[in-house]
Amino acid sequence: MTTDIRPVNIGLIGLGTVGGGVVRILKEHHDDFLRDQGVDIRLVACASRMEEEAVALGVRDLFSFDGSDVINNPEVDIVVELVGGTGVAREFVYAALESGKRVVTANKAIMATCGHDLLGVAGAKGLEVAFEASVGGGIPIIGALRNSLIGNRIERVVGIVNGTTNYMLTRMGESHLDYATALAEAQANGFAEADPSADVGGADAAAKIAILTTLAFNTEVVLEQVPTEGITALAPIDLEYAEQMDKTVKLLAVALRTPEGIDMRVHPTMLPKAHPLASVSGVFNAIYVVGDAVGETMFYGAGAGSGPAASAVVGDIIEVAQRITYGITRPFLRFGTEQLPLVPSADVVSSFYVRLPVPDRSGIVALTAKVFADNDVSIASMMQGAADDSDGTAQLIYVTHPVREGALRATLEGIQATGVLTGEPVVIRVENP
């Protein structure tokens, strides 16, 4: 075994699910990395809010309650930030760069809000920030866009990038569970947080598509620019109608190159069952990428959890450690050096599924259909669900021909103005074959 290789010292901030996985991989595979990858990676410092995490992982002697102790430790070469969020975690990352440390992070929120600036600071100091685990857990999508697909003009990136919502939609479709029951089941199985709002509201997926858009199209995008809809309004009836249309419902993160600019969004979508993403079920993630040279590709795997996310983090650690060990300059990273226009949501053209809860009485169908016609929204089909005997509410289901979203929104406003709705309308985009 090689013994004259300079050790690369790791300081880890955050010993939760992913951090614990990183510690275990570094311990179990240290000799493998030394033999096969030519790097001697050593954990020399760690920080967490809870001391018991360090005790359980066998790293109590390296432990501090304060992440600054890790950053200021002169022995540390690479700071691994696994705290999450944009508060103290952001401060830790910037402080690490200011102190001359390279950074590995799984923090999608940071990369989606200030990634461009962060990488600029790192580049100016001759350092680097590696962030493979920020999107897709163990799926190597960041590396693919940075390296393997760099010879392509990327035309589209479409992904199922949130395991919580994909699990819930799978269960709602297969077992006809309502939203609340599907969420409770996801939480009981450890697939959803106690506060699931970032997942079910779409913010988690929005952060990830902001990062992927910036990489794929080399245009700076931040989280706040992503039009976002979650799954909270969906009900079993919506998935049942999708089934009747030979489609399945997925929460998609979408970025498309168009002549007008980049069309980017997160929302539920009815996909034809023949679509490559339609069969991705449970907590799995998949990202569909189309390039002008490579054509269609899809990256599939576990999108979260201790093992997959830790795998991506350790992969970044090894790459950075190799560059330190052998004096290799970090390859140039395009990250938002252009400013392509973003297509306004109102101008995006799609077919739409629209469910309207209305009183079960005559004249309602004609009234709502007239509002569609008044806004030049062409109806492809209309169905009426059975009325609910408990409150007399019926469900009108419209599917439109392709139309501008702005016209569809105007139609919904017009229908709401009639006063006939007994609840909020549900809108799902429809992907046609």
Active site residues: 208
H/E segment holding residue 413? helix 405-418
Strands (E), 110-245: 129-130, 154-160
- Closest residue by Cα to residue 230 from 259, 256, 200, 207: 200
- Closest residue by Cα to residue 160 from 257, 304, 258: 304
Strands (E), 292-368: 295-302, 349-359
120: its two tokens: 């600029």
Kind of pairing, strands 154-160 and 78-81? Answer: unpaired
Do 57 and 24 meet the contact criterion of CB atoms below 8 Å apart?
yes
Exposure pattern of 172-209 as b/e (b: 16+ CB <10 Å)?
bbeeebebeebbebbeeeebbeeebebbbbbbbbbbbb
Half-sphere exposure of 58 (CA within 13 A, CB side): 8
Do 16 and 297 meet the contact criterion of CB atoms below 8 Å apart?
no
